[in-house]
Amino acid sequence: VGTQVCVVGAGSWGTTVASLVAHNADTTLWARRDDLVDEINSRHTNSAYLPSATLPDTLRASSDLDALIAAADVVAMAVPSQGFRDVAARVANSIGATTPVVSLSKGLERSTLMRMSQVLEELMPGRPVAVLSGPNLAREILAGQPAASVIACADDAVATTLQQLFSRPTFRLYTNPDVVGCEIGGVVKNVIAIASGIAQGFGFGDNTKATLVTRGLAEMTRLGVAMGANPLTFAGLAGMGDIMATCASMQSRNTQVGVRLGKGESIADIVASMNMVAEGVKSSAVVVDLARKLGVEMPIAEQVARVCDGTQSAADALRALMSRSSRSEFD
Amino acid sequence: VGTQVCVVGAGSWGTTVASLVAHNADTTLWARRDDLVDEINSRHTNSAYLPSATLPDTLRASSDLDALIAAADVVAMAVPSQGFRDVAARVANSIGATTPVVSLSKGLERSTLMRMSQVLEELMPGRPVAVLSGPNLAREILAGQPAASVIACADDAVATTLQQLFSRPTFRLYTNPDVVGCEIGGVVKNVIAIASGIAQGFGFGDNTKATLVTRGLAEMTRLGVAMGANPLTFAGLAGMGDIMATCASMQSRNTQVGVRLGKGESIADIVASMNMVAEGVKSSAVVVDLARKLGVEMPIAEQVARVCDGTQSAADALRALMSRSSRSEFD
């Protein structure tokens, strides 16, 4: 019997990662809803999240979290940030004393400003914690298009084990010891994607988008460095790679929100019309809180937060960003 | 009488920069051809390079290089890399002893592997040399879309003077002392744009493109660091910003070449069909030479160079890149 992996959360990204790993190891996927469990086990599809994709036959789903976790040698958490702690607390009841846990989730906990790996460390002390991040457009990766990501873990041996377990010929994994940087990249990129979408919705082209996203990367890097991250992480797959894929793709809900804001719709109307809230709408305020606490200047995130809480129009936000005074590139 | 600026070279980027500066200072534009000089002075257009754009009335063009340079307080060179030395030698005949020279050109000299700023330093010793780089899609910037770039100069006071002279409300300039990094970014990005175009032409989506471009940035950074550049420069406007705009835009000739290669056309047919050779087709071999000389691994540039010299198909190049062994993100 080989390694057994459990992926917790059957959204588009959790299902995609479970489908990749199922080629390398016995893999189970936890879904909350029994109808989705049945669909995955009998039809090998997840039509709500990944229309037209076929999942591996060997991938087995279940709603019995305790049983899946008790049998798992490796656990991967793919739960949205705001529900993350509740599910992680249930995982903690059954997980082995030294079982590695990988976070696939990109967000911060609203009330505590904690990163997902910090939540895992608090609830499951003693287990090695890792983060998988990078340009993660689920549909393209599940379709077998070439991609690469980062597996971040403070323990090098665990990182190498997870790298082998989660890699596929079309999904290359690079190790990086910088857990904080990889997580901050995943959080801030959703905020920057809203700003980039606003510029696009306004009718600005690739040059303005590239400028804005690059300045967004600079403020993402400032925040990360203030938290102890390696600045080079942000030039890598979990920084630039993720932000570039997100901002280029209308598959991203955050980009969609930005484009609609740029075209003049109100944030209230946009949020009311979407099934799932785009992560960046909520996390912009959390990022700004964190930046203030650490004394880091994040002008783009601040403007996005104001647009998302309805106190500033998208047009005024763009204007404010362009009127800042000239300075050196890396202060 | 205020500062007088001369921009040497009336292609799309030279004309765009001259048009921006003309709002801040007396500005002249050198064009080789008299019919283009007449068009710029009488109709205020440059229809071959910037169709449908109107240039400022105050911008004056001339083909008399000696007279323009003799009158200039600042000179900006916007000449393609392979003709750069010849024109710079003519500029050197008339330029003032302490007149700053700004390179707007992105390339390496084929025979010497020299950067454009090195050519300027050789031919015009004693003059402060600077580089302007960043996401520079000329048409969008000339249309007044918000943009930002980097002005790189070892002399901080000169950098600040040039920053004020070349900035516009819609064209923010950041100073950066790293001349080498800004130039290497501008050279390697054209090579990476060909690789990104190949992936796009193959039918791969935004995720694959973002992955490939990020790995391209990593090898660009390795080369730059081996030459003494600051790695952070590549996460900035002259690295990531420029590469992101270039790879997103079909305005880029390098992206166009890549897309056609990815669709199965031969490099010979593509080159034969284009009026101007895309810079990356030539510079891929130069970049690989430089990387070998410095012992730097640049797998993407190597594959692009092989495709561009006709010894490898685009399909085989993509396959070779995807089959490399897993490793850590920043070796």
- pLDDT bracket for residue A323 (50, 70, 90): confident
How close, in Å, is residue B24 to chain A by CA atoms? 15
- Give the HSE-up count for residue B166: Cα atoms under 13 Å, Cβ half-sphere: 34
A28's enclosing H/E stretch is: strand A26-30
Give the nearest chain B residue to A146 (CA atoms). Answer: B208
Q: Are A81 and A105 in contact (CB under 8 A)?
A: yes
- Distance from C-alpha of B13 to C-alpha of A191, rounded to nearest angstrom: 32
Q: How confident is the model at residue A318 (pLDDT cuts 50, 70, 90)?
A: confident
Nearest Cβ partner for A235 among B211, B235, B318: B235
B321 — pLDDT class (breaks 50, 70, 90): confident
Cβ burial of B33 (10 Å; 0-12, 13-18, 19+) is exposed
Q: What percent of chain A has pLDDT over 70?
A: 98
Q: Is the pLDDT at A325 greater than 90, yes or no?
A: no
Please indicate whether, in this complex, the C-beta atoms of A176 and B329 are within 8 angstroms of each other: yes
Nearest-CA distance B269 → chain A (Å)? 27
| B44 and B59 Cβ atoms separated by less than 8 Å | yes
Facing residue for B213 by CB, picked from A146, A244, A249: A244
A80-128 residue pLDDT tens: 988 999 999 999 999 999 999 999 999 999 999 999 999 999 999 999 9
Q: How far is A301 from chain B (nearest CA, A)?
A: 18
Name the band, by pLDDT with cuts 50, 70 and 90, for residue B180: very high
Q: What is the pLDDT of residues B2-23, one digit of tens each?
A: 899 999 999 999 999 999 999 9
B173 close to B149: Cβ distance less than 8 angstroms: yes
The CA R_g of chain A, rounded to the nearest whole Å, is 19
Res A254 pLDDT > 60 = yes
Residue A78 in this model has a pLDDT that exceeds 80: yes
Closest-CA distance, A200 to chain B, in angstroms, reads 11
| Gap from B111 CA to chain A (nearest CA, Å) | 32
Average pLDDT, chain A: 95
Q: Give mean pLDDT, residues B55-69.
A: 98
- Mean pLDDT for B132-158 is 96
**pLDDT, tens only, A137-180:** 999 999 999 999 999 999 999 999 999 999 999 999 999 999 99
By C-alpha distance, the chain A residue nearest B323 is: A169
Contacts (Cβ under 8 Å, ≥6 apart) of A149: A132, A133, A134, A135, A136, A171, A172, A173, A174, A237, A238
* pLDDT-based confidence at residue A1 (cuts at 50, 70, 90): low
Is A189 assigned a catalytic role?
yes
Q: Would the pLDDT of A326 be above 60? A: no
The 10s digit of each residue's pLDDT in A168-195 is: 999 999 999 999 999 999 999 999 999 9
Cβ–Cβ gap A322/B169 under 8 Å: yes
CB contact under 8 A, A240 and B217: yes
User: Which residue has 């890396």 as its token pair?
Assistant: A330
* DSSP secondary structure letters along B176-194: ES-HHHHHHHHHHHHHHHH
Distance separating alpha carbons of residues B254 and B275, to the nearest angstrom: 13
Q: With 70 as the cut, is the pLDDT of residue B200 above it? A: yes
Of B207, B217, B321, the CB nearest to A140: B207
Q: Select the more confidently predicted residue: A14 or A324.
A: A14
Which of A150, A233, A330 minimises the CB distance to B236? A330
- Which chain B residues contact residue A212 at CB under 8 A? 146
Q: Which residue of B has its CA nearest to A221?
A: B235
Selecting from B214, B237, B242 the residue whose C-beta is nearest the C-beta of A237 gives B214
Q: What is the pLDDT of residues B231-279, one digit of tens each?
A: 999 999 999 999 999 999 998 999 999 999 999 999 999 999 987 778 8
**pLDDT of B1:** 60
Cα(A319)–Cα(B302) distance, rounded to whole angstroms? Answer: 43
A205: which chain B residues are within 8 Å (Cβ-Cβ)?
A: 137, 140, 145, 249
Q: Which pLDDT score is estimated for A2? A: 85
User: Which residue in chain A is spatially nearest to B166 when comparing CA positions?
Assistant: A326
On chain A, the residues whose CB falls within 8 A of the CB of B214 are 135, 148, 235-237, 240-241, 244
B207:A147 CB<8 A: yes
- Token readout for B292 is 């070998």
The CA distance from A196 to the nearest CA of chain B, in Å, is 12
Q: Please list every residue in chain A whose beta carbon sits closer than 8 Å to the beta carbon of residue B199.
A: 146
Contact A146 B208 (CB under 8 A): yes
Q: Which residues contact B309 (CB under 8 A, 6 or more apart)?
A: B267, B285
Report CB contact under 8 Å: A210, B169: no
Instruction: Measure the CA dihedral B105/B243/B259/B302, to 10°.
Output: 80
At B254, list the tokens. 């390098």
Cβ of A244 within 8 Å of Cβ of B150? The answer is: no
The C-alpha R_g of chain B, in whole angstroms, comes to 19
Residues of A in contact with B229 (CB under 8 A): none
- On average, the pLDDT of chain B sits at 95
Q: From the candidates A192, A214, A225, which should be mutated to test the interface with B, based on the most B CB atoms within 10 A?
A: A214
> What is the pTM assigned to this prediction?
0.93
Which positions in chain B touch A326 (Cβ < 8 Å)? 163-164, 167, 172-174
CB contact under 8 A, B326 and A172: yes
Mutate to test the interface with A, among B230, B318, B329 (most CBs of A within 10 A): B329
Q: In this predicted structure, what is the pLDDT of residue B2?
A: 85
Mean pLDDT within B76-97: 96
Task: Estimate to the nearest angstrom the gap between the alpha carbon of A273 and the chain centroid.
Answer: 22
> For the CA atoms of A258, A262, A264, A266, what is the dihedral angle to 10 degrees?
20
- Nearest CB among B135, B214, B217 relative to A210 is that of B135
pLDDT of residue B326: 56
pLDDT digits (tens, 9 = 90+) for B279-315: 899 999 999 999 999 999 999 999 999 999 999 999 9
Give the model's pLDDT for residue B277. 77
Residues of B recognised as catalytic: 189
Spatial distance between the Cα atoms of B12 and A45, rounded to a whole number of angstroms: 51
**Is the ipTM beyond the 0.95 threshold?**
no
